[in-house]
């Protein structure tokens, strides 16, 4: 009897070229948890704390990434060309940060946030209007987002260091902080009101 059942089971597992469509299964790991067995010499509570913090940073970085693409598409005015290119360069660099942060969460045994609905519910960055804004308003909005990310990155880097998570500390300081500081420098310079071809004093004297 047992042998017949085994043969039936083997037949039912026969290899087929047909794709298995619409497969469903329960999650293999829930969001907000970390794996128990990760040979990183980092205690589970430390990894849990850091993955929670990194998911907040990930949601904010994904939002800033998308703000840059929105600005890239919707920019108008005499500085269109240079800002169009600059916004896309920063978008590409934020894309790299998103991947680096998400994979750090997975390395620590956690689950990275991924989808737009979850990002929208998690981010601390204010939602922009759907319509177009002037360049100065676009840049101010981007600078506000950078400010949120930079201050949480500094706080998280100190926490990672306290918890002994040197890898996350390095990622936060070397990648996230440095990139965001550079972006702030490049875009904030566009909000300085200086004449292009003559100093103010020479114009007043004339
Ligand atoms: Fe483009």
Sign of CA dihedral 188, 193, 195, 200: negative
**Res 197: pLDDT:** 82
**Res 7: pLDDT:** 66
Q: Residue 87 C-alpha to ligand 1 middle, in angstroms?
A: 9
Q: Residue 72 C-alpha to ligand 1 middle, in angstroms?
A: 7
Q: Residue 81 C-alpha to ligand 1 middle, in angstroms?
A: 11
Q: How far apart are the first and last CA of the chain?
A: 107
Residues 35, 44: Cα–Cα separation, whole Å:
8
**Res 11: pLDDT:** 63
Q: Find all residues with CB under 8 Å of 193, minimum gap 6, and list them.
A: none
Under DSSP, the state recorded for 41 is S
Q: Residue 23 C-alpha to ligand 1 middle, in angstroms?
A: 36
Q: Residue 143 C-alpha to ligand 1 middle, in angstroms?
A: 21
Residues 115, 62: Cα–Cα separation, whole Å:
10
Of 51, 59, 75, which Cα lies nearest the Cα of 119? 59
Q: Residue 191 C-alpha to ligand 1 middle, in angstroms?
A: 23
With contact defined as beta carbons under 8 Å apart, do 55 and 173 qualify? no
Q: Residue 126 C-alpha to ligand 1 middle, in angstroms?
A: 24
Q: Could you tell me how far CA 6 lies from the centroid of its own chain? A: 50
**Res 59: pLDDT:** 98
Q: Residue 65 C-alpha to ligand 1 middle, in angstroms?
A: 13
Q: Residue 162 C-alpha to ligand 1 middle, in angstroms?
A: 41
Sign of CA dihedral 26, 27, 32, 34: positive
Domain 40-123+134-192, CATH 1.20.1260.10 — does that match? yes
Q: Residue 86 C-alpha to ligand 1 middle, in angstroms?
A: 11
Residues 191, 170: Cα–Cα separation, whole Å:
31
SS3 29: coil
SS3 116: helix
Q: Residue 190 C-alpha to ligand 1 middle, in angstroms?
A: 20
Q: Residue 200 C-alpha to ligand 1 middle, in angstroms?
A: 36
Residues 8, 6: Cα–Cα separation, whole Å:
5
Q: Residue 178 C-alpha to ligand 1 middle, in angstroms?
A: 25
- Long-range CB contact pairs, 167-171, < 8 A, 24+: 167/104, 167/107, 168/50, 168/54, 168/104, 168/108, 171/100, 171/101, 171/104
Q: Residue 146 C-alpha to ligand 1 middle, in angstroms?
A: 21
Per-residue pLDDT tens, the chain, 206 aa: give them. 566 776 666 666 789 999 989 999 999 999 999 999 899 999 999 999 999 999 999 999 999 999 999 999 999 999 999 999 999 999 999 999 999 999 999 999 999 999 999 999 999 999 999 999 999 999 999 999 999 999 999 999 999 999 999 999 999 999 999 999 999 999 999 999 988 888 777 767 77
**Res 199: pLDDT:** 79
Under DSSP, the state recorded for 129 is P
Residues 64, 61: Cα–Cα separation, whole Å:
5
């Amino acid at each position: 009897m047992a042998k017949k059942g085994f043969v039936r089971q083997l037949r039912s597992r026969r290899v087929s070229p047909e794709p298995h469509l619409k497969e469903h299964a329960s999650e293999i790991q829930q969001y907000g948890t970390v794996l128990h067995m990760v040979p990183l010499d980092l205690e589970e509570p430390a990894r849990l704390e850091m993955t929670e913090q990194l998911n907040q940073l990930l949601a904010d970085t994904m939002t800033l990434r998308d703000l840059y693409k929105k600005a890239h598409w919707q920019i108008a005015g005499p500085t269109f060309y240079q800002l169009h290119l600059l916004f896309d360069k920063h978008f590409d660099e934020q894309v790299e940060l998103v991947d680096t942060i998400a994979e750090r969460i997975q390395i620590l045994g956690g689950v990275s946030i991924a989808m737009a609905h979850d990002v929208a519910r998690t981010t601390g960055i204010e939602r922009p209007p759907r319509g177009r804004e002037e360049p100065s308003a676009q840049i101010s909005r981007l600078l506000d987002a950078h400010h949120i990310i930079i201050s949480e990155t500094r706080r998280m880097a100190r926490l990672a260091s306290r918890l002994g998570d040197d890898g996350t500390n390095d990622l936060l300081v070397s990648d996230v902080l440095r990139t965001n500081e550079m972006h702030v420098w490049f875009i904030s310079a566009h909000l300085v009101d200086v004449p292009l071809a003559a100093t103010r004093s020479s114009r007043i004297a004339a």
